[in-house]
Chains A and B, each alone.
Chain A
Amino acid sequence: MNECAAQRGFLMFRDCGNPASGSCSTCGRPMCTEHLAASTGFSTCLDCAARRPDDAWNKTEGREWAYGFRNNFYRTAMYAPIGLAAVVAADSFYDDYDVRSFDSRRKHAAEVDEEEREPGFGDS
């Protein structure tokens, strides 16, 4: 099953992690229910809903408002979120946001401090 292609987060992006339940009628990306906009009858993803003209997001609330605010903030405050997920660097949908990604994310994953590991789990 496809995974939801949305990136969650404001200061940093990460994969949604939920299985997709449909797709966005605007960008065509697979989406979970959480990332489909209620104001569009769950046909458009929150990212596409956020990019609608006339700041239509400002009339919404909750998660939909937050994604609209996020899109607006990146444009006006010149903020580039930090991409924690590998997929965000390859997804051209987020090119507008100038995501700052970890190039060597896998290397860092392997270098996790011993004290940060879960107790009881050692190297095999």
Chain B
Amino acid sequence: MADVPNLEWIEAIVREELDNDEIHLAMDTLPANVEGWDSLAHVGILVAIEKKLGRRFTTEQIDSVSSVGDLVRMAQIG
């Protein structure tokens, strides 16, 4: 996995959380269009990202995520 979180880094976490290695993500992918990525899975993914990064996001940051690209940028900036 890359040192700086990128699309591939997020994809690996999503695959692990959804237990599905067939998942392919793009920056403009919307969670609703990914099989299994429901609101609950979304929580698991965010928590796993925070754990891997070793820091917490703010309520506002998490609230403003809508696409995979938002996740990547949020993980990069912190």
* A interacts with B: no
Chain B interface (Cβ within 8 Å of chain A)?
none
Chain A interface (Cβ within 8 Å of chain B)?
none
